[in-house]
Amino acid sequence: MTEILMPKATAVWLVDNTSLTFEQIADFAGLHHLEVKGIADGEVARDIRGADPIANGQLSREELDAAGADPKYRMKAQKSRHAEFLKPAKKSPRYTPVSRRQDRPDAIAWFLRNHPEIADSQIVKILGTTKSTIDQVRNRTHWNAANIKPVDPVTLGLVGQLELDSIVKKAAEKKAKDDAKKGIIDDGPALQPAAEPIEFETQDTDD
């Protein structure tokens, strides 16, 4: 299948301008159907402007009409004449648009709070950030520390849901193997790790 340029922007356009199912849009754009649902709900890609796949030569009107008439139909993409110019070079460092770079500390904070098992090197790779920035967020020495709040990187548009799920899964499996080597066995409810205490919201029972 031809790789879609600007998959999220394309998905935004299809959500806003067609009645296609989430699965049809996800299949065409190469996204997870839950990610497309997040776009429709306004939780993902809120600041991304839709890109018309017909106008940029990646989808024919006939394909779109066929998909609109049959929910089971999967659209076939056309190779855009601009694809070779717009396609990023393979194995190049992740590029984060200037408008998104200010969101990276929030995403870093989210990883540190919710998935401390993920190595800093992985966060550097997935967010296109640096080890020093991660340390600054962790130690609260970042110049904007007072305004940094943990935000899901998928919501920020920095990472795709499938990519995030894959990294979280691999990190969890690695941690399980490391724990097994150290003789740490999970037998169900037990003491929580002291390094990362879990905070629960309490409800005042006083009337």
* 114 located within any domain: yes
139 and 70 inside one domain: no
Is there a domain that residue 207 lies in?
A: no
Task: Please give the Cα distance from 66 to 83 (Å, whole number).
Answer: 24
pLDDT value, residue 173: 87
> In the prediction, which pLDDT does 184 show?
54
Place of tokens 């500390």: 105
Closest CA to 39 of 11, 69, 5, 78: 11
Q: Is residue 42 part of a domain?
A: yes
Residue 154 shares a structural domain with residue 80: no
Instruction: Choose one of 86, 114, 130: the last residue of a domain.
Output: 86
- Judge whether 197 lies within some domain: no
**Domain carrying residue 24:** 7-86
Q: Looking at the structure, tell me whether residues 82 and 102 fall in a common domain.
A: no
Query: Per-residue confidence of the chain (207 residues) as pLDDT tens digits?
Result: 457 778 888 999 999 999 999 999 999 999 898 999 988 888 887 778 888 888 888 889 999 999 999 999 999 988 755 554 444 444 444 554 544 557 889 999 999 999 999 999 999 988 888 999 999 999 999 998 899 999 988 888 888 888 888 888 988 888 888 878 877 554 444 444 444 544 545 555 554
CB contact at 8 A, 192 and 198: yes
121 and 165 in a single domain? The answer is yes
Smallest Cα–Cα separation from 8: which of 183, 119, 158, 190? 158
Do 109 and 81 share a structural domain? no
The verdict on 63 and 136 lying in the same domain is no
Count of domains in the chain? 2
